[in-house]
Amino acid sequence: MRYIIILFRFIILGYSLPAAAFTYYVSPLGDDAQAGTTVSTAWRTIGRVNAATLLPGDRVLFEGGQTFAGSIDLGRNAGTPDRPLVVGSYGRQAAVIASGTSFGLYAYNSAGVEVRHLVFRGDGRSVNTEQGVNFYIDTPDTHLQYLRLDSLEVSGYHYNGIIVGSWSGTSGYADVHITNCQAHANGEGGIVSYAEALAAHHNWYVGNCQAFDNAGLPDVTYTNTGSGIVMSGIDGVLVEKCEAYHNGWLNANQSGGPVGIWGYCCNNLVIQHCESHHNSSGTRHDGGGFDLDGGCTNSILQYNYSHHNGGPGYLLAQYYGAPPMHDLTVRYNVSEDDARQYSQGAIQVWSSGASGGIQRALIHNNTVVVTPPADGSQPKALLIMSDAFSDLLLRNNVLVTAGGLPVLSTASTTSLRLEANCYWNATQLRLDWAGTTYADLGSWRAATGQEQLADGRATGVSADPKLASADPTLAPTPGSPIQGAGLNLRAEFNVSPGPQDFVGNPTPTKTSPSNIGAIETLAAPLPVVLTEFTAVQAGTAALLSWRTASEQNNAYFAVEGSPDGIVFKRLGLVAGHGTSTLAHPYQYRDTALVRAATGAVYYRLQQVDTNGRVTYSPTRVLTPVVALGTRAGAAGPVLQLYPNPAQPQELVVVEGPAGTRVHVLTVRGQLVASAVVAASGQASLCLTTLTPGLYIVQCGQQRAKLTVN
């Protein structure tokens, strides 16, 4: 009997062990008839992967640097949080999934999945008919755990690059991370979530992602299209260190438009440390940087940088039919030259009144600067478009316009308080208050009771805030009247302002003075005086040289490069000399970026001091010779522009095939300049009629981006 019991125990133990996990390899040199479990017995096609039954813990790895035609259909294959099913690449490079007109990857009612280090390519938004990477639930009462989407590049799909959603009541995904991903050149949008019910999804993180060149769909008029990153239907989501730019210009919805980074129908949504710029809309609505939209509750926009968007930098909007929207905070953000289209506001509030409208919103310690746009419209630093809100409070904000633009415009004055803000226009202050215009702070305060506390204390400043215009943080400089002129939110209202300001300084204690604006300290003197910075070609390398006249606490220089002048990546580090009053020369040789270039290459220096403070050099442009700038297999040199970025007063030289015509287009396709390439292979473009912004230069079948600063 004793032996029988021992045998039974071994049988039970055997059944409790998990099944062995396998790694399957896929290579263009493989064979679908083989086992696939080693590199030498690899499968060959995506079709073989789709035919396999994959179990928790299994991995499917495609050979890096190779291209595989088809779509990955995981079906209901799934893993678990402890034993995820992994799809990725082997080798140093990412494999390319070329899905043509179909989807890139689809998973249906499954989770416990990791998709990593892959490139998904559709045939283009006007040719492809599907989503890129798509996870979807439609079974009732289904709550799936664990998704990891990391280091993916998804482009060329008709709809969205990455989309995770559910449509069955409260069914949804929990514990979702989307990190280090790029979603670009798609039609409907970049990175998107959605759900049928509020709070269907839980506990999401989206970090270090980029969404750009997602145009929108010109044939869709019933909803907005062309956003960068959109979160919806989630309870608990953090979006940070992401960038969205040049999205939305083909949106065709007349009732609303896209936004760079935003959310709706979310609880506890936090968007922080992100940058959103050069987004637009094909219609008269939106096209801005950041947005907390209908149905958002207990949500925060903080430490973000919005600039040069067609629409608002920061928007609060409650759409028709939306669920309740309440307890919102917009703090320590910077907006620089937003609202470039259709007379919108850099900070803008609109409410339909649905479900009680917008309730309890605090907008504090933001810095807004707006200059006149090229289209002649009248943007405002602050625009309140409607009523249907309650307890809307604006405190400690810097609101600056130029050229006579309105600083403030509001259609409603009910349940709206403005306290301790700085209002400034060097030409003439203009405060539009429910049909009446005031030209100075004192008369507006006396007539409306704004900028005055309950105990009778007058607040607010109407003076030049003396911001450091060369510093992207727009920090106040010595002598600024906004220093110490803000209200201490802890002491006055028992409201926590959060842990830090826009650049990471701690927020004031209960007994400390508060600045007005996004920075709680003054702009410090530059730690390094840069006297020279050049980029020249040296054989097959780019030689960067720079010189400093003096250095203070200089830890190092980070050399950054970019193929388009917009997105820069770190190439290497060069140690500094600490603190020195002597001149010091520096050099750095780039052999990687310049060799891979198909056109101009952009370089800049990031100087980092011992305290972590960061400043940037001007950008330098290197146009490689034909031997470096010719694309493999191309008939001739690639389209090249220099200088790029350029100033409005400069001539831009275009290199292209002789006799061809060069066109300069806005991002919406409007022709603004043209020239003919001479026999020398060059054409000169005069930029004196162009306003700062992003343009497309087209020569024959080739196109390149041109930035006018």
pLDDT score at 667:
59
Spans in the chain with pLDDT lower than 50: 1-16, 625-637
3-state DSSP assignment of residue 277: strand
Regarding the domain delimited by 639-708, which CATH topology (the fold level of the hierarchy) does it fall under?
Answer: Immunoglobulin-like (2.60.40)
Residue type, 151: S
CA distance 347 to 410: 12
pLDDT score at 10:
36
pLDDT score at 638:
52
pLDDT score at 621:
81
Sheet holding 682-686, edge to edge: 640-642, 651-655, 682-686
Q: How big is the CA angle at 248 (ends 247 and 250), to the nearest 5 degrees?
A: 130
pLDDT in tens, 145-171: 999 999 999 999 999 999 999 999 999
pLDDT score at 470:
66
CA distance 46 to 28: 10
CA distance 100 to 122: 5
pLDDT score at 680:
65
3-state DSSP assignment of residue 474: coil
CA distance 467 to 400: 10
pLDDT in tens, 568-616: 789 999 999 998 888 888 989 888 887 777 777 888 898 888 877 777 7
Q: Which two three-digit tokens encode residue 563? A: 């193929």
pLDDT score at 369:
97
Domain covering 528-622 assigned CATH 3.90.1150.10 in the classification = no
Question: What are the two backbone dihedrals, phi and then psi, of residue 596, each rounded to the nearest 5 degrees?
Answer: -85, -5
State the residue for tokens 């082997």: 90
Is the C-alpha dihedral spanning 660, 665, 671, 674 positive or negative?
A: negative
pLDDT score at 616:
79
pLDDT score at 2:
38
CA distance 609 to 525: 12
pLDDT score at 378:
95
Residue type, 603: Y
